[in-house]
């Protein structure tokens, strides 16, 4: 005879089997993490669930996804290993059930600000794949009653499968990115090969040698930029986004950008204007990363605008968001290419005639902006100009 407990267990096992199939079917880390937290909440009958990923190199935990985040802005929030429940799970490699989280000394209270409902009860399990700890899966607030050893068992099973899926997705992303990178290395390397070959030729004039040396310098520069950008995008894609969330003044950041690119614009014979509101509310986010995103857009505007053109940096604030626009009167981008601009390594055919580049700048901008819960848009017309607009939510300010 099957009683009701057996019934529940059976249906949970069936759910687990279908979830496992689902997990194995995607290599996209974002989709995967979201599926895992949905499944964890459902299987343990919890109000919410979260994943924190553990970065072996820095020894830190990064709050990754949760079903009850107030806003995506808190993604990447660093949770200390020393002073948190998740840290305890990592250090002890063991599951834990806590019924009164707020009374627990290990509870990392800052997390309360980031989630919709405060944590009362918690069931946490380590994510271990190939004997390596990848992170922590937590189910938060049992809907009725307390978390049981049965819930713990089922979450451990889900966690084991989730850990392998996460590792596979990371390895796949890395190998994919490395393959693309190696492919992209070929062009500068073959240019270097030709130039060094020619420079050594006895019959080449001194002037020509200088010309080749110049092109070698340019290609080496490009390789070094590629290495920097590559590292950057690899970190952003690995799921260990290291956004340092802090309150900051966007006006200051934009003024710093202006000071940095003003000279460069002048040297390229471009007029550069800025119209930055002074009443932008305090933002919460990674100041340096936002600065980098704006600098990437400004540097592109300078690169792809012929001498005599105009570049404008301006902002507009509404109750919900702040918009940062970088306008130029440059070469523009046709609609067909606009769709691909944010892909890694993509450059509009012929772009190299105007400026050297890696094709990674806009991919980095997009990831930074989206990591802050924002969006980036492009409006452009060939031979007329381009406007890139970053929209950042102001949600966190009002609380
Ligand atoms: P890159 O290092 O090539 O500049 P990005 O990712 O920053 O890489 O930009 C990708 C491509 O988008 C560029 O190669 C260029 O073709 C196009 N692009 C970017 N910004 C502009 C702009 N302001 N005007 C015209 N084309 C642009």
Ligand 1 binding pocket mutation candidate from 341, 343, 388 (most atoms within 8 A of CB): 341
Asked whether 305 lines ligand 1 (CB < 6 A), one says no
Asked whether 138 lines ligand 1 (CB < 6 A), one says no
- CA-nearest residue for atom 25, ligand 1, is 332
Residue with tokens 């940096």: 313
Sign of CA dihedral 219, 222, 224, 227: negative
Cα-to-centroid distance, 46 and ligand 1 (Å): 46
Residues 76-91: what's their mean pLDDT?
86
**Predicted confidence (pLDDT) at residue 65 exceeds the cutoff of 90:** no
Ligand 1 binding pocket mutation candidate from 338, 359, 385, 390 (most atoms within 8 A of CB): 359
- Between CA 325 and CA 377 the distance in angstroms is 9
**Predicted confidence (pLDDT) at residue 41 exceeds the cutoff of 90:** yes
Which tens digits make up the pLDDT trace of 214-246?
989 988 988 998 888 888 888 887 765 568 888
* pLDDT for position 34: 87
Compute the CA torsion angle 64, 67, 71, 77 (nearest 10 deg): -20
Cut 0.85: pTM above it: no
Cα-to-centroid distance, 220 and ligand 1 (Å): 20
Q: Are strands 310-317 and 271-275 parallel, antiparallel or unpaired?
A: parallel
**Predicted confidence (pLDDT) at residue 396 exceeds the cutoff of 50:** no
Confidence band, pLDDT 50/70/90 cuts, at residue 395: low
- CA-nearest residue for atom 21, ligand 1, is 300
At 60, phi and psi to the nearest 5? -115, 160
Ligand 1 binding pocket mutation candidate from 304, 309, 390 (most atoms within 8 A of CB): 304
Confidence band, pLDDT 50/70/90 cuts, at residue 55: confident
Lowest mean pLDDT among 62-66, 157-161, 237-241, 311-315: 237-241
- Between CA 72 and CA 374 the distance in angstroms is 9
Which tens digits make up the pLDDT trace of 142-188?
999 999 999 999 999 999 989 988 888 888 777 778 888 888 888 88
- CA-nearest residue for atom 14, ligand 1, is 347
Confidence band, pLDDT 50/70/90 cuts, at residue 397: very low
Span between the terminal Cα atoms of the chain, in Å: 54
**Predicted confidence (pLDDT) at residue 39 exceeds the cutoff of 80:** yes
Asked whether 341 lines ligand 1 (CB < 6 A), one says yes
- Between CA 270 and CA 262 the distance in angstroms is 9
- CA-nearest residue for atom 7, ligand 1, is 361
**Predicted confidence (pLDDT) at residue 101 exceeds the cutoff of 80:** yes
Q: What percent of the chain has pLDDT over 90?
A: 50
């Amino acid at each position: 005879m099957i009683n009701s407990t057996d019934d529940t267990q059976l249906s949970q096992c069936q759910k687990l089997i279908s979830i496992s199939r689902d997990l194995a079917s995607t290599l996209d880390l974002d989709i995967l993490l979201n599926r895992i937290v949905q499944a964890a909440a459902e299987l343990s009958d919890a109000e919410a669930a979260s994943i924190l990923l553990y970065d072996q190199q820095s020894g830190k935990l990064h709050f990754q996804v949760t079903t009850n985040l107030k806003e995506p802005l808190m993604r990447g929030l660093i949770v200390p290993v020393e002073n948190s429940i998740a840290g305890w799970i990592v250090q002890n490699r063991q599951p834990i059930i806590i019924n009164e989280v707020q009374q627990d000394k290990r509870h990392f209270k800052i997390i309360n600000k980031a989630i919709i409902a405060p944590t009362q009860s918690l069931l946490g399990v380590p994510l271990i794949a190939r004997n390596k700890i990848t992170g922590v899966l937590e189910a938060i607030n049992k809907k009725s009653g307390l978390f049981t050893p049965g819930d713990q068992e089922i979450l451990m099973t889900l966690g084991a499968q989730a850990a392998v899926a996460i590792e596979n997705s990371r390895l796949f992303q890395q190998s994919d990115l490395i393959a693309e990178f190696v492919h992209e290395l070929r062009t500068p390397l073959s240019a270097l090969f030709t130039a060094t070959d020619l420079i050594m030729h006895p019959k080449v004039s001194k002037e020509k040698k200088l010309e080749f040396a110049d092109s070698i310098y340019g290609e080496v520069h490009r390789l070094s930029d590629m290495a920097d950008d590559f590292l950057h995008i690899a970190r952003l894609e690995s799921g260990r986004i290291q956004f340092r969330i802090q309150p900051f003044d966007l006006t200051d950041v934009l003024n710093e950008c202006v000071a940095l690119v003003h000279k460069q614009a002048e040297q390229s014979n471009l007029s550069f204007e800025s119209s930055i509101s002074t009443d932008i509310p305090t933002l919460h986010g990674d100041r340096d990363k936002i600065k980098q995103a704006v600098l990437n857009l400004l540097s592109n505007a300078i690169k792809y605008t012929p001498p005599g053109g105009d570049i404008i940096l301006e902002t507009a604030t509404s109750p919900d968001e702040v918009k940062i626009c970088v306008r130029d009167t440059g070469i523009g981008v046709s609609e067909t290419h606009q769709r691909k601009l944010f892909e890694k390594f993509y450059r509009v055919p012929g772009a190299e005639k105007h400026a050297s580049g890696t094709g990674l700048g806009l991919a980095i901008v997009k990831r930074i902006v989206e990591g802050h819960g924002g969006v980036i848009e492009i409006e452009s017309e060939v031979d007329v100009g381009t406007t890139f607009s970053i929209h950042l939510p102001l949600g966190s300010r009002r609380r």
